[in-house]
Chain A
Amino acid sequence: MNIESLQHKAREIRRETIRIHGIFPETRIASSLSPVEILVSLYYGGILAFDPERPDWEARDRLIVSKGHGGIALYPILSDVGFFEPALLNTISQQNSMFGSIPDCAVPGIETINGSLGHGLGVAAGIALGLKAKRNPANVFVLVGDGELYEGAVWEAMMFAAHQHLSNLCVIVDNNKISMLDFCENTLDHAPLGKKFDAFGLDVQSADGHDLAQLYPALRALKQRPSSGPKLLIAQTVKGKGVPTLEGDPLCHVRSLSQEDVAKLLEEVV
C-alpha cells in the first residue's frame, strides 16, 4: 500500500460521498468530507484489521465513528471492501433503505448507532476495557468531532480511559474547526486541544488530516506505538474538504449541495 494509491482511493471515495449526498441531500456532506482521508487510511492502508465476511470477527479492530452524522464516506468504503453488495447503495434515500442519513448498525460493518454526539468515546472505552479483560489484543478506534468535544461525557470517558490505562484505545479527533453554526473558536473556544488531552492523561500527536504522506504514518503510529494508556491523534482537517463553496463557510454543517453543484463536482477531479 503506497501513498499514491491511498490518494487515488481518497479521491474516489470523496467523489462517491458527494454522489451519495446528491441522491440523499439530508446527509451532512461537509462533516462527511473532512474525515475521508482518515477513513481511507484505516480501511485501505492495512491499519484497521477487519474481515468483511465476518463483521463480528473477534480479532477485528473495532471502529466507532462517534461523529455519526459525518460518516457518510463509510457507505462507499464498506461496500467497496466487501461488507455488502455495491448495488445496495442504489437504495439510498428510498423507503425501507437501511442507509440512514446518519449511518447506524443496520449496515454491515458499522458497530454502533452514533447520531447523538458524545457517546462514542465512552462506549469505545468500555469496549477497550472489555477487550483487555478478555485478553484480546484487538484495538478500538474512535473518531470524534471537535464540536463533539463540547459534550461533557467525552471528558468523563477520557479520565476513565487514562486511569484504566486503556492502551488499546486509539482516539482520532477530526479537528475541522467548525461545529454547527460557526467556527469552534467563536462558539466556545476550546483551544489548546492538545494540551487539554495531554492534561487528561492521553498520549497526543497531531498531523495534517488530508496530506496522506503525514496522516497515514501518523495513523499507523497511533495503532502501533507502545503506550501505557490511551492514544490520541488530532487530525487537522477542513470541513467540506474538496468542495470550494463549503470550505471555510462557518455554516457549512447545515448546507446541502444542489444537484447542479454535485454534477459539476463529479465532473471535476476533486
Chain B
Amino acid sequence: MSTMKTRAMRDVLIERIYERMHHDEQIYFLSADFGSPALDQVREHFPDRFASVGIAEQNLINIATGLALEGFTVFAYAIAPFLSMRAYEQIRTNLSLHAPFKTLNVNLIGIGTGLSYDVSGPTHHCLEDITLMRLLPGIELFSPSDWRLTQRMVDVCLDMKTPKYLRLDSKPLPAIYEREDEIAVEQGFSELRHGDHACLISTGFMTHTALKAAQILAEHGIHITVIDFFSFTSYNKDALYARIQPCPHVITLEEAFIFCGGMDALIADLLLAQHHSDGQFLRLGIPDRHLFEGGGREHLHRAHGLDAESISGRIKQLCS
C-alpha cells in the first residue's frame, strides 16, 4: 500500500460539497450542532444554504425532508449512532415511505460509524447502521473506505436523486484509492487485491485492516482477493459473484454487529442465491453485545479478533 496522506473523510466531504455549492444553488447543508473546521467555510460563504438544528436529530430529518420537497439537495450531517437511531422513524416515514411518491435528494451523513468514537463508549459506537439502513426500502446505503472514495461519493450524492445514508469513519485515514476517477462507483465494490486462496470482503475502516491482513498472508505464501464493498443497495451482483466464485473460502469483515442482517447477511444471501456451496463462509465482526471495555479501537479489535494478525491467522487456518 502506498504512503498517501491521511485525511478525515468528513473534512474531504465537506470541502467537496463547499466547492460544489459555488455552482449548484440547490445544495443545502444541515447540521445537528456538529461541525468540523471545513464547515466554517460553508457557514461563512453560504449562510442562506446552511442551518444548524441544534442537537435534535429528529428535527434534522424533518427539516431535511421539507427542504428536499422544495427541490433542494440536502446534506444532513450528524454523529452516526444518533442520526441513524434517534431519528430512525423519521428516516422511515419521511424518506423511505415518501420515496415512491416524491423525489427527495436527502443525503444523511453519519460521522463516526463503527468504533470511530471508541473512547466515548458504546453510546457513541455505531454497530447497527448497516443492518438498519439495509432494512429501509428506498434508502441507498454507502460505506466508503477512504477519503478519495468519499470525495467521489459527493458527486454520486448530487447525481442520484434519492435518499441516501453514508456511513463515514471519523478518524484521519490513508487513501486506498490512488485516483478518484478510476473508482468503479456504479459497480459498488472494488477488487483491491487478487488471489486464489480466499476472498475477503470488507467495508469502511476494516478495508484498511483487510489489506494489512492480506499482506501478512502473502508473506506466508497465501494469496487472497480483497474486495472493498461500498455500495450496499446498488451494486453489480453478477460482477461481485464472479469475483467471489473462484475462491474456495469467503470471509466477510465489518466493524458492525454480525449475524443480524449486516454485510455478512448480504454476502450470505448472494451466495445462497447462486447456490454457492463450496468451501467455508466466515463472518468477522462484532458479536452480539455492546462493548464497554476501555482501551481504544485497537484494543477492542484485538479483543474481538479484528486486528490484521488475528484475521490473517483465521484465514490461514481456513486455507490449510
Contact = CB atoms under 8 A, between A and B. Distances in A.
Interface of A: 104-106, 111-113, 115-116, 119, 121-131, 133-134, 136, 152-153, 156-157, 159-160, 164
A121 to B, nearest CB: 8
A127 B56 contact: no
B67 A153 contact: no
Contacts of A164: 51
Contacts, number: 97
B69 A129 contact: no
Given A123-B69, A133-B28, A113 B97 contact: yes
A156 B66 contact: no
A113 B28 contact: no
A157 B61 CA distance: 11
Contact of B67 (A112, A129, A159): A129
Interface residues of B, number: 29
A133 B21 CA distance: 14
17 contacts: A106-B101, A116-B93, A123-B94, A124-B66, A126-B63, A126-B67, A127-B67, A129-B51, A129-B63, A130-B66, A130-B71, A130-B72, A133-B28, A133-B48, A133-B70, A153-B90, A156-B56
A156 B67 contact: no
A152 B54 CA distance: 14
B63 A105 contact: no
Interface SS of chain A:
helix
Given A121-B62, A126-B69, 4 more contacts: A113-B97, A122-B63, A129-B51, A156-B56
A116 to B, nearest CB: 5
A127 B62 contact: no
B62 A153 contact: yes
Interface SS of chain B:
helix
A112 B63 contact: no
Contacts of B90: 119, 122, 153
Nearest to A64: B66
Contacts of A129: 51, 63, 66-67
A119 B54 contact: no
B58 interface: yes
Contact of A119 (B62, B68, B71, B72): B62
Contacts of B51: 129, 164
A119 B93 CA distance: 9
B212 interface: no
Contacts of B211: none
A164 B62 CA distance: 15
A157 B48 contact: no
A126 B64 contact: yes
Contacts of B89: 116
A112 B98 CA distance: 8
A198 B68 CA distance: 29
A245 B61 CA distance: 40
B28 A125 contact: no
B89 to A, nearest CB: 7
A112 B66 CA distance: 10
